[in-house]
Amino acid sequence: MSAPALAGARSEHPLPVQSPSRALLVRPHHFTANPETALDNAFQSLGAARAEDPAVLARRAYDEVGRLADALDAAGVAVTMFDDPGTATPDSVFPNNWLSTHADGTLALFPMYAPSRRAERRADIVAALRRCFHVRRVVDYSDGEADARFLEGTGAMVLDDVTGTAFACRSRRLDETLLAEVCADLGLEPLVFDAADAASVPVYHTNVLMSVGNEVAVLGASMIRDPARREAVRERLRAGGREVVEIDEGQVRAFAGNCLEVVSEAGAASDPAGERSLMMSGTAAAALTLDQRRRIERSCRVRAVEVPTIETAGGSVRCMIAGIHLAPRV
């Protein structure tokens, strides 16, 4: 691991409620699409990854994480970067699945569905966060793996701190009993639904389907097949004051739902609304219609980053960012 670039101290101002002003990234030195996770991840492109020279693929993935770090920095977001030099964790570029942090000082660790992903949980990352931020408690749910109870962090859940809701679509990667336990611990209410594509393949992670910002939410509503549950999700988002920008299944497949709103540290210091950006991939941004982009940009600036190599693994920009909602130590 290289020494992380740790976020600056700004504990005198309140953290933004919904959108982080600090982000954790993991930069892989080896990269490939994971055949274990391809079993239920219809967004993966194993063939495309296997056709590439492994060294070229690794270099591209490494560079794409660097580009995302640069884009976050340009948005005024402090980046904590860790490197993964190993070969045993092909999905380590997606740390939001095993780790989440919360403004009350909670750091949560989650159980992973694929055995190869469980080694992504790193004690050195947890220790670095505890050294540099105020962590009140570490809650470790990873023992659920022994009982085949999985909950892959803010991939399986999309959290809305305004309404206190954890949106979650059913999949192999989400155990509803464990979800209820996590929600009770974090003071959230679960809103669970089924989502699937036109071929009835379930959506593997909620965060490819939707994203919730301060004033706008992006939602692949048509993939929530039950009209009543679809409307329940819409209504909960609207109850939080969000304009709901709906995207179709093709746009979901282009990762237009796999985006994350962030707020600049400077904006957060002076105004909780801050200077907001919606981080997404170039593929996702290109899939938006002009009207959708106009509606989003009434609330925040779209910042697109090209991550085509990493997208072959079935995730995109939101999956690459673990938001840091903890107050930094002075």
Tens digits of residue pLDDT in 99-131: 999 999 999 999 999 999 999 999 999 999 999
Helix (H, G, I), strand (E, B) or coil at 57: helix
Residue 46 half-sphere exposure toward CB, CA atoms < 13 A: 9
- Give the number of domains in the chain: 1
Structure tokens, 221:
């509503």
Six token digits for residue 297: 């940009």
- The rounded distance, in Å, linking the Cα atoms of 222 and 195 is 9
Residue 157: give its domain's CATH number.
3.75.10.10
pLDDT of residue 41: 72
Categorize the per-residue pLDDT at 53 as very low, low, confident or very high, splitting at 50, 70 and 90.
confident
Q: Is residue 8 part of a domain?
A: no
Residue 2 in domain? no
For residue 192, the one-letter residue type is V
Distance from C-alpha of 10 to C-alpha of 89, rounded to nearest angstrom: 33
Q: In the chain, which residue ranges form alpha helices assigned H by DSSP?
A: 46-50, 54-74, 123-132, 153-156, 176-186, 227-239, 249-253, 265-270, 282-287, 290-297, 308-311, 317-320
Tell me how far apart the alpha carbons of residues 299 and 208 are, in angstroms, rounded to a whole number.
21
Q: What is the pTM of this model?
A: 0.91
Residue 53 CA to residue 37 CA, distance in Å, equals 21
In a domain, 94, yes or no: yes
Say if 76 falls within a structural domain.
yes
Which structural domain range is residue 207 located in? 22-323
What counts of helices (H) and strands (E) characterise the chain? Answer: 12, 15
| C-alpha pair distances (Å), 65 with each of 52, 184, 315 | 18, 34, 13
Q: Is residue 269 part of a domain?
A: yes
**Cα(285)–Cα(36) distance, integer angstroms:** 29
Q: Return the pLDDT at 14.
A: 42
Residue 13 lies in a domain: no
Average pLDDT of the chain is: 91
Please check whether residue 289 lies inside any domain of the structure.
yes
Domain assignment of residue 9, yes or no: no
